[in-house]
Homo-oligomer: A and B are copies of this chain.
Amino acid sequence: MLLGIVKRESFYDICTMQHSINNHVKKHISATENDLVLFNNVLNEVTIAKGAYLLQPGHHVTEEFFVVKGCLKAYYMDNRGNKHIIQFAVENWWVGDFDAFYNEGTSSIYIEAVEDSQLLSIESSKLNKVFEKAPIFERYFRILVTEAFISQRKRILSAQEKNTQERYVEFCTSYSNIENRVANYDIANYLGVSPENLSRVRQKLKIS
């Protein structure tokens, strides 16, 4: 039921999808053709429709996901019922509940498709086998999580120091071209500002 609208079939052919992930890998590490084949062989194709959930709280997390095409948002609901957007994921981003994936636990967040999306997934147990057979992928994921850590820290510092306009411009740089794919109130939520405040800033930037 939970993942009833997630289909294990693609609207892209497998070659296009492998091309996408392999390009991303090659941008970060020097992998051999054998390493790439090994990695490609453990990836699964996942199609998810706009509005459907890839993850919901309580769901046992065994996979993380690479976005080939589409857009998703990751958020959690606090105990007062308020939504907090943690991350958007567009083409070439990894998304998942990394805490639950790493600690083999249950999800505490929602991941919802903002657009029809095409993903590749990898299971934790299979990833560990890849690490054993092709340790170069330890480097790939070390680099990715280091970049994510740095980006998350920058977001914390920006929230403390920068004004709405500076933060919105920073957001548009990090998430290239996403400003037209995601609702204004979701971007405002992510930035921790009011939708009205963000609308004013966007209007001002359009004019200038």
List the interface of chain A (C-beta within 8 A of B). 76, 78-79, 84, 86, 98-99, 102, 131, 135-136, 138-139, 141-142, 145-150, 152-154, 156-157, 160-161
Contacts and interface: CB of A to CB of B under 8 A. Distances in A.
Instruction: Please classify the interface of chain A as helix (H, G, I), strand (E, B), loop, or mixed, using the class held by over half of its residues.
Output: helix
A113 to B, nearest CB: 21
B138 A142 contact: yes
Given A135-B135, A139-B138, A150 B98 contact: yes
A50 B60 CA distance: 46
Q: Which of A131, A148, A150, A156 has the most CB of B within 10 A?
A: A150
A93 to B, nearest CB: 14
B78 A154 contact: no
Given A98-B150, A102-B146, 12 more contacts: A76-B157, A84-B157, A84-B160, A86-B157, A99-B153, A131-B139, A135-B135, A135-B136, A138-B138, A138-B142, A152-B153, A156-B156
Contacts of A154: 99
8 A-B pairs with the lowest CB-CB distances in the bound complex, closest first: A142-B142, A138-B138, A78-B161, A149-B149, A135-B135, A99-B150, A138-B139, A145-B145
